[in-house]
Structure 1
Amino acid sequence: MKSRPFRAVTLAMAITSLAAVAACGSGGAGDEASGPVDVEFWGWAPGYEKSVELFNASHPGTKVTYSKISPGSKGGYTKMLSAVKAGNAPCLASVGFETLPTFAAAGALQDATAAAAPHAKEYAPWAFAQSSVAGHTYGLPVDIAPMALIYRKDLFTKYGITQPPRTWDEYAADAATIHAADPNAYITYFGNDAYNFAGLAWQAGAKWFTTGGDRWTVDLDDPATKKVTAFWQNLIDKKLVKTVPSFDTALYKGMGE
């Protein structure tokens, strides 16, 4: 894997919420306190340590202690839920919007509707709504990540591409141009990150999960999803994109090279 002029970074409309967790220790966010307040916060995103440091410096009446844990699906969520059951959960935790309903259903969150309401105007309505379940708000959005097209202009120029692709057809054509010019170069990679694929399917109009009455409907075989699948499968079959596991060491090594 040589050069990567393009990469779709992160996922479509992914939101991580700072959620108030049930069974927060004494002196935490859910308690009435007459003195300094200690707040324990669990999360994993880069930069939280610095954010906590800046917050503590500007809020002398509150001390936030940050503990970095494994990303949610890699063990962090299990640790949080276990802590709630044991009665020693943190006051705040980073919970993905897609997992928030699971925590709410498990009784693992404190209702923060009243505390969050004054801040609703600071967010896009749809973003703020993602931190709510069944009319109750459990946190605030802290990581709203759109899917973006990032490319190396110098490499596009090298391969005779004068402007970035504006359509998926142009994208496929550029992928062929790049790989034909250099068999070790690929326009991007296709990994096993379900979030990225979900974002692309969403962009195409797919609705994998819907509700009707008291029932869930799951549909992963709709025309939009098939269209996205066929597009990427075609690039994979023609070896115009690199196939490598998402977040794998080989992926980052290839990007660096």
Structure 2
Amino acid sequence: MTDAELAAKLAEDAGALLLKLRDSSVLTGRELGNAGDKAANDMLIAALRDQRPDDGLLSEESKDTRGRLEKDRVWIIDPVDGTREYGEGRSDWAVHIALAIEGSATIGAVALPSLDLTLRSDLPIASPARNSKLRMVVSRSRPAKEAVAVSEILDADLIPMGSAGAKAMAIVRGEADIYLHSGGQYEWDNCAPVAVAEAHGLHCSRIDGGPLRYNQEETYLPDLLICHRQDSNRVLDLVKAL
């Protein structure tokens, strides 16, 4: 398999495992989320060590090691992005599988298992449609203050949603137009979504306009902007002016 095919297969296999676990388990809420995280992570780590033993690896659910910093190719994964949503039986959670090459989000797959859908960097679907009235995806529980402020200026509708992957894929799927986040994330939260969004022609950057860099010693990557290219400069300027 190519790297992109492997990313998609792993995302889909983990998604299937998670759905089976949720459907058959007596666990709910946080306990189910924790069980799903472990089961999916164990499967993904074993598969990547078997299929790409020479590559580096960074997972939310595994202890980080400095060895990955010596690698040009590093798999960055989030076995369950939106553990809370998964445990609550919602659909807005995702599985992230990405390959960063020399610090860039090069290859990615984001599975939305509850929707039976996987978005891939190597198989872009039709270009996402931009709505005449802009729509912004924000956190269900704590919308970023910058996003709320920008939405008011743009007169954009806010769409509360769970995981970062679900939000980013809402832009790719044409269900929203702007994902502006400033509340804190890590590399595994957005590497795969960024790879997929960029492959679909969308703008992806930090909220100061800087590049998103991966496989860094510090994995904290607190903010990002994903939107249509025609809106990027305006949104960045508005954030700068806040």
Question: What's the TM-score once normalised by structure 1's chain length?
Answer: 0.25
* Structure with bigger RCO (C-alpha 8 Å, 6+ apart): 1
Which structure features the higher share of helix residues? 2
| Structure label with greater radius of gyration | 1
